[in-house]
């Protein structure tokens, strides 16, 4: 499942995060606490893990966990 994989990737950037306390509509920066550098590294990891490309201009639109999940699902379907 995409959400589970994404959750594990996010935890890899900050093992202190308990994503079970965040809803899927949690904001990746404000709620989860990833900084700008971690977000860009996460994007690269997502691209590698799911074999997709996320255009730089699209990154700004992917602020919520569920937005990222939908974006990935749309690309791998």
65 lies in which domain range? 2-76
Tell me the per-residue pLDDT of 10-34, one tens digit each, with 9 for 90 and over.
888 776 777 777 778 889 999 888 8
In this predicted model, which residue has the larger pLDDT, 14 or 59? Answer: 59
Total tally of structural domains belonging to the chain: 1
**Residue 35 CB-half CA count within 13 A:** 1
Q: Identify the CATH number of the domain in which residue 35 sits.
A: 1.10.1200.10
């Amino acid at each position: 499942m995409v959400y589970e994989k994404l959750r594990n990737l996010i935890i890899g950037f900050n093992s202190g995060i308990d994503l079970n306390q965040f809803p899927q509509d949690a904001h990746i920066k404000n709620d989860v606490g990833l900084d700008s550098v971690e977000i860009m590294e996460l994007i690269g990891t997502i691209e590698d893990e799911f074999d997709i490309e996320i255009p730089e201009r699209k990154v700004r639109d992917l602020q919520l966990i569920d937005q990222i999940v939908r974006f990935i699902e749309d690309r791998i379907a």
